[in-house]
Amino acid sequence: MNIDFSIKELAEIVKGEIYNPLNLSADFSVSNVVIDTRSPSIQEKTLFVALTGSKEDGHKFLETFRAKKGQVAIVSKSNQAISVCQIVVKNPLEALQSLAEKHRSKFTYPVIGITGSNGKTIVKEWLYHVLKDNYSIVRSPKSYNSQIGAALSVLEMNADHSLAIFEAGISKPGEMQKLEKMIQPTIGVFTGIGDAHSANFSSDEQKLEEKKKLFTNCKVLFDNNAVSISEIPFTDEASMKNASLVSQVSAYLGLNEDLISGKLKTLPAISMRLEQLEGKDNCLLLNDSYSADLQSLEIALKQLRTLNKFNTRILFLSAFEENQNDQIKINLRQLLTEENISRLVFIGSKNDLPELKIPVDLFDSADSFLKAGLKFENATILFKGSRKSGLEKIVHHLAEKKHITKLLINFSAVRNNLNFFRSRLSASTKILVMVKAQSYGGGLTEMAHFLVNQKVDYFGVAYADEGVQLRLSGITLPILVMNPEESAFDEILNYNLEPSIYSPEMLNSFLRYLILNQKNHYPVHIKLDTGMNRLGFTENQIKQLLDTLQTQPEVFVKSVFSHLSVADDEAENAFTFNQIRSFDILSGIISDRLPYKFDRHLANSAGAVNFSRAEYDMVRLGIGMFGLVDRNNRELENVLSLITQISQIKEVHAGDSVGYGRTYIATHDHKIGIIPVGYADGLRRGLSQQNWSVIVNGKAAPIIGNICMDMCMINLEGIDASVGDEVEVFGDSNSIFEMAMNLKTIPYEIISSISSRVHRVYTDE
């Protein structure tokens, strides 16, 4: 970033009042902007914008900013105890946007603005791929297209660039006007309309009208009216449309047909998210080997900070895509000096590296590294580099070799879903996340560590061994054990777990154990049965419970809770309200008799959405984190995708049978595909015989014959497919809700049944 605004100019642009305890000159200028005080780019001329969000308030970190030599901040309330020049405004986010708008007005070169429901990032990255040799390009990093992300992207513009490419994404009316003012695109690109973020719009027509406000002042607009294009390395319809847009824009910007055609043949597959993979020798791999520049490196390092599994942190880095001049080297040194990197492995020339105090291994190519045979263990390893550097080879080499079928867990969607629930709760309401059964198949420790960084308050597990696993992985948040077994009392105490006490017998057993171990005031959670008739104290046991609690100092009640059995069924609302009333009465009796306060919690994911009366002090989220509460809720996003590849394609002829039992007999000649996923992976045999279709290159391919233990067969008739093509078993284009209906079951059973041999891959935007 290379901005240039004086304190006086800043105050005028954002309409703020200056509080200046440092007595800085009104002409003192800032050169870059941060919104996170953990950023390694903070220096004396950095401007910190203190944003306030649902989880954090940037004003709490003013002192940290000052400790890093920062001197100027935009705030909504001044803190006279901290020696920072503070420009006080009503709304720091609007101030950031005003600053971006002013900065944008300094430049006259073409600016491409891209919006649409899907494909924005792919089109942006493909445009960069085609145009980068003809233009000096600034573009949004990753999918930075929000009210904050767009502002930060625009602030990256400088006089050395000759073209800008920015994304614009919205989730509700009124947002696009703000993005248009900042981006001020001269060339518009519209990728189409879809279901994403539809909840806040009354219709697709309203959403379309809102999105197209980005193009109000564009000289030209390219939409999804496809034109014929030359060969590209993809066959699906969406890729063809995206490539067509890229071709049209590139031609408008002066590239000739032969040059465009050659570039389209080498379009890269775009990974829009950082991938988290299991590595060899107990390593954790964070793969972002798709682009190399300072801004995206800083974003990747920020992600690395959130992974606390190992103390050893290794960075694989390639030379940047732009020329690494002296200023870039200085910025790179500053960036790496601030980060807690144990070792750098650099792929490229020594001339591209600044002097560093950390150990550096230098290789001229990825192949040279592979020949050297270096090994790593018990480390978190970040890969950051351009595609041409070949870092993908190293990722593949260091990754634990797994079954080709994988379950993708989208942390960005989990974050969205968590924020959806937060938006419906009071700010003081705690959130307990259930991570039992390997977090519903999503991965126990991986999900837990991600959720710690999202500031949840509690974890819940089914059995003590799950809690032990969390503790051994470094989790320190309180952990509620729903089904404590007497044989696990040692683990409960040794690992500071908190048991659910659901019966007089369980309470007495735990009290005897605590007395033997001379423990007092151990936290427990009292479970009440309010109508589900599963575990829990019934109404006629409350007096006995209270008599014991009032005379036994070995325990104290941390919370009282119960469970709603039909909160997801509107037809059963009367029963749910009866449960809420029963919980009010029974928990109230306990509250009246105990001399201290405790938390109350009743709502599960469905209860948190449908019954505000059930909120109390805490809610328990489980399946809701995966967006699987209500198929009609368009604000929740799908988290899980089961993905595999085609192993073989063959031709069957009329009369040929397929699979065990010969349940499929071909009536005519056609192609079939064999995919390596079967009932041992969690693909239920009940989906055999065309009871489910997978998605291949955007088209439905029915499962034919009976599903085998390790594989199944699909009908590829009318589908252009090749060996190695990706297959979506369920995911964004193939609903788990539909699969559950076909199986006459619930989404819980499907996702918690995905086998451990299916490779879990974690992604984040």
Residues with catalytic annotation?
Answer: 436, 660
| CA 21 to mean position of chain CA atoms | 40
Are 701 and 715 spatial neighbours (Cβ–Cβ below 8 Å)? yes
Pull the structure tokens for residue 95.
């101030």
Phi first, then psi: what are they for 427, rounded to 5°?
A: -60, -30
CB neighbours of residue 254 within 10 Å: 10
Helix (H, G, I), strand (E, B) or coil at 309: coil
Pull the structure tokens for residue 392.
């993908």
Q: List the one residue out of 99, 35, 103, 26 whose CA is nearest residue 70.
A: 35
Are 113 and 178 spatial neighbours (Cβ–Cβ below 8 Å)? no
In SS3 terms, 120-155 reads as HHHHHHHHHHHHCCCCCEEECCCCCCCHHHHHHHHC
Pairing of strands 670-675, 648-652: antiparallel
The region that residue 616 occupies, defined by phi over 0 for left and psi between -120 and 50 for alpha, beta otherwise, is left
- Write down the residue that tokens 């996702």 correspond to: 751
Q: Which helix (H) or strand (E) holds 102?
A: helix 92-104
Q: List the one residue out of 129, 109, 79, 121 whose CA is nearest residue 186.
A: 109
Phi first, then psi: what are they for 251, rounded to 5°?
A: -65, -40
Helix residue ranges, H only, 253-318: 257-264, 294-305
Q: List the one residue out of 343, 424, 375, 346 whose CA is nearest residue 615.
A: 424
Pairing of strands 360-363, 379-384: unpaired
Are 18 and 316 spatial neighbours (Cβ–Cβ below 8 Å)? no
What gap in Å lies between CA 195 and CA 189, rounded to an integer?
19
Are 647 and 676 spatial neighbours (Cβ–Cβ below 8 Å)? yes
The region that residue 525 occupies, defined by phi over 0 for left and psi between -120 and 50 for alpha, beta otherwise, is beta
Give CA torsion, residues 255, 260, 266, 272, to 10 deg.
70
Contacts for 210 with CB less than 8 Å, ≥ 6 apart: 170, 173, 175, 176, 201
Are 602 and 616 spatial neighbours (Cβ–Cβ below 8 Å)? yes
| CA 220 to mean position of chain CA atoms | 34
Contacts for 6 with CB less than 8 Å, ≥ 6 apart: 26, 27, 28, 29
Give CA torsion, residues 568, 574, 576, 581, to 10 deg.
160
Q: List the one residue out of 486, 478, 479 whose CA is nearest residue 461.
A: 479
What contacts 24+ positions apart, CB below 8 Å, involve 130-133?
Answer: 130/246, 130/250, 130/255, 130/260, 130/263, 130/264, 131/163, 131/250, 131/253, 131/255, 132/321
CA count, 13 A, side-chain hemisphere, 63 = 5
Pull the structure tokens for residue 480.
């509620």
